[in-house]
Chains A and B, each alone.
Chain A
Amino acid sequence: MSRTRRRWLVATGLLTPTGLWLGAFLIAPLVLVVQFSFATRDTGVARAVLPWTTQAYRTALDPAFLPIFGRTLAYAGITTALCLLLGFPLAWFIARHGGRYRTALLAAVLVPFWSSYLARVYAWKALLDGEGLVNRLLGAVGLGRDGGFLLTHGAVVVGLTYGFLPFMVLPLYVACERFDHRLVEASYDLGHGRVSTFVRVVLPAVFPGVLAGSLLVLVPAAGDFVTPRLLGGVDQSTFGSVIDDQFRGGNNWPLGSAMAVLLLVLVVVVLVLRGRRGEDVL
């Protein structure tokens, strides 16, 4: 047996259990969803039946749903941007100035994340409502708001940012830690200023981390419906919550499936745009 062939056999053998699991419990269900999305709605037990039509897609792409697409993208996009804005200084600080406390500091970023996701959302609910700490503190300096900040777009974005920040910090930290700081000194020596050094030297070097972190934040933020529901007002439906409505109670599986497929396509488009550069960190 040739060396290449033996190597292939060993590798494939080691990968097979994972492949089978993902094939059965990820690929097959996704294929089924695609099939559902072309089926016709059935209110009985079958829920999605022949004849095959594109009705669900026509409904999903109806202009009435446009605000929901827009809102989902805006929430996910702003959340990703905020996570970058907060995560980068933190990751850089830990990587550059953490010294021997690096691991401990990184673990400290993760402690709140290791609590319950719902508990964190509720904590924000309590902090942001009319009687909450945030409103009272802001009220003391004259910036309070009647009824607090709950049920606003801002509350949803804060909740999402808080929920997914660690997913941004980890890959950014890996990228910052690998960064050779002598490059910054070299850039200063060559007469570049702070901004120019950041844009031309630091950013390109840590870019894979930025991409990986953005992906890990963008995907869950785009699909989440728990945070928008608990922190947002009545008209805060997102992609995730519409899909949820269609499936919970068996309302309209074909429409829910079509929207799930569209959400997946959206994510894949973002992924293709990002190219392959994020790979070595992810």
Chain B
Amino acid sequence: MNRRPWVLGAVAGAVFAFLYLPILWLALVSFNDSRSLSRISGLSTRWYAELLDDSRVLESLGLTLRLAGASAVVSTVIGTSAAFGLRRAFPGRGLWTVLLSLPLVVPEVVLGVALLGFCVKLAGIPLGFGALLAAHVAFSLSFVVVVVRARVAGMDPRLEEAAADLGAGPLVAFRTVTLPLVAPAVAAGAAFAFLLSFDDVVTSSYLTGVGSTTLPVFVYAQASKRGVSPEIVALSTLLVATSAALLIAGVLVAAKRARSSTFVGSIRDE
């Protein structure tokens, strides 16, 4: 099936076009001088100026960033610990695996309404930051565990044994050998958790409190009343540009690291 790779390449290119067309259109239309998102009438930066003046948007952006940061930290720490817990066979591992994959099969709307009922009727947790954090960690955890666990499973246990033979205590061995080996997966898990939280609409829309609305929920509420504001399109463009820049920087750093490969990396590669 690879006798004609250009056919496959063309299909892959078309899928890439499908992925990028809407994003590029958004970027273009954010410089439109009218409110229309479908027809460009002239170019201006007025929506960017209005965005910077809109305190409600900036406030909810601040809350969303703090929430995503907190959610990423909590889910990465306890998720990484869980991934190490699942490393070796022990009685009950199957049950834990089922529990940990449960968040992946609960649709967001179900998690949202369940937590709404739980916070309001049973636990007495006020809606807002705390409730949002509880939900975001709950649906991000599995992704962190999946990513880190894959890395932990692929690790050569002889490296840690070697560290122990060379006189390193368990803590030193963990810090100098194990941690550097799993660090990329932990970072990937944290990034995943951050973005899942940052982008969440459905679950969050049930749990925001008065004065603690996350950006996606704010945008959704606004848009269902009077359509999308071009300000929001401008903000989205900035966010996409930032994430793309971060990703490109990440790829470049990773490529550079790979070239000047580390000591641990070189052992691993052999």
Please report A residues at the B interface, Cβ cutoff 8 Å. 4, 7-8, 10-15, 17-19, 21-22, 24-30, 32-33, 36, 46-48, 86-87, 89-90, 92-94, 96-97, 103-104, 107-112, 114-120, 122-127, 129-133, 162, 165, 181, 184, 194, 197-198, 202, 215-216, 219-220, 222-226, 229-230, 239-240, 243-244, 247-248, 253, 256-257, 260, 263-264, 267-268, 271, 282
Contact = CB atoms under 8 A, between A and B. Distances in A.
A123 B25 contact: yes
Nearest to B11: A89
Contacts of B38: 126-127, 129-133
A114 B118 CA distance: 30
A93 B8 CA distance: 7
A215 B16 contact: no
A49 to B, nearest CB: 10
A114 B241 CA distance: 10
Q: Is the interface of B mostly helix, strand, loop or mixed?
A: helix
B109 A32 contact: no
B52 interface: no
A94 B12 contact: yes
Contact of A7 (B88, B141, B254): B88
Contacts, number: 276
Interface in B223-245: 223-224, 228, 232-233, 236, 239-240, 243-244
Interface string B104-132: 11111111011111100110000000000
A131 B113 contact: no
B78 A18 contact: yes
Contact of B22 (A127, A224, A226, A229): A127
Contact of A32 (B84, B86, B121, B137): B121
29 contacts: A8-B91, A11-B88, A15-B96, A19-B99, A21-B137, A25-B134, A26-B102, A27-B102, A28-B118, A33-B110, A33-B113, A47-B121, A86-B18, A87-B15, A97-B8, A111-B240, A111-B244, A116-B219, A118-B220, A122-B223, A122-B232, A131-B36, A223-B110, A224-B108, A225-B109, A229-B224, A240-B109, A243-B110, A260-B110
A114 B240 contact: yes
Contacts of B11: 89-90, 93
A232 to B, nearest CB: 13
Interface of B: 1-2, 5, 8-9, 11-12, 15-16, 18-23, 25-26, 29, 36-39, 77-79, 81-82, 84-88, 90-93, 96, 99-111, 113-118, 121-122, 134-135, 137-138, 141, 145-146, 195, 199-202, 206, 215-216, 219-220, 223-224, 228, 232-233, 236, 239-240, 243-244, 247-248, 250-251, 254
Contact of A96 (B2, B79, B121): B2
A219 B247 contact: no
Nearest to A126: B37
A165 B19 contact: yes
A215 B104 contact: yes
B158 to A, nearest CB: 19
Contacts of A47: 121
Contact of A115 (B111, B200, B239, B250): B239
Contact of A103 (B37, B92, B96, B251): B251
Contacts of B90: 4, 7-8, 11-12
Interface centre among B12, B87, B104, B201 (most CB of A within 10 A): B12
Given A11-B87, A117-B200, 5 more contacts: A17-B82, A86-B15, A114-B243, A132-B38, A267-B107
